[in-house]
Amino acid sequence: MTDLQAAVLGIVQGLTEFLPVSSSGHLVLASYWFGFKPSGESLELAVDIATNTGTFFAVLIALRADVWRALRGFILGLRSAEGRQQEGWHLAILVLIGSVPTAAIGLGLKEVFETLNAPVPVSFALAVTGLLLWFSPTRGGRTEATSLTWRDGLIAGIAQGLAVIPGISRSGSTITTLLWRNVDAALAAKLSFLMYLVASAGVAVLGLTEVRDAALGWSALGWMTLTSFITGWLALIWLFRLLKRGQFRWFAPYLWAISALTLARVFVA
């Protein structure tokens, strides 16, 4: 893989990880449309894992106040009953509860993930993501983490776990699920991205061997990380503005269009 290809994939990952359009799906389609991979060939899982490094740090820094609040709240909650009344404790517990089904489904569907990592199945999955976004509520009423229950965290975690399928947006599925649970859009996004941090860290640890075996090269890894970090940071800022305006659903037509164009190219060309 050349440095230019690595940079392009990093940009695609950064722009699409937090926007509700599926970063894994777009990595597959970018590789296909730019000629990195033929239509029937799967994209290496190592690329998906490597590009996640930059977006991981983008979330960690952008939401550092929320990360600290959750970590501090968890520690205080372990020490006293008073600490377990704080928002930080509830936020941390929701993330932990949501991470359990995510890990179970992700590990269980790992082989499925690899077989579906190709343009045709990704295109159909993107169309499904578009439907999720189009019919999603634009706003929710619950604005505090203390108002959420363990069921909210569990259901959000299941939605995130199912997003292991390339083309099913992780942020789109978790945020829309929480919106259906009457959770405020900004809080839904924060919880979604905090769960992403845990999932991304787990994927990175479990995928070290695959990244090493893929032999992408230090230069390519560096470009992937840098470009995905910068574009991921910008995408985060944009997403919170869109959620505030209730414009989440307008990504659906784009997903349907790119899905249709890809299928047309694969079957007609």
- Which structure tokens are listed for 224? 């992937």
Compute mean pLDDT per 10 residues along the chain, 269 residues long, and list them: 81 85 86 69 62 85 91 90 88 94 83 78 95 89 90 94 89 93 92 89 67 67 86 89 81 95 88
Tens-place pLDDT, residues 221-260 = 788 888 989 998 998 888 888 887 877 788 999 999 999 9
Task: Give the separation between CA 191 and CA 256, rounded to whole angstroms.
Answer: 27
Task: Give the separation between CA 261 and CA 69, rounded to whole angstroms.
Answer: 44
- The reported pLDDT for the residue numbered 253 is 95
Which residue, chain included where needed, has tokens 């405020």?
Answer: 184
- The reported pLDDT for the residue numbered 216 is 66
Bridge partners, residue 183, by sequence: 142
Taking the model in full, what pTM does it have? 0.84
Report yes or no: 243 and 20 within 8 Å, Cβ to Cβ: no
DSSP state string for 58-94: HHHHHTHHHHHHHHHHHHHHHH-TTGGGSHHHHHHHH
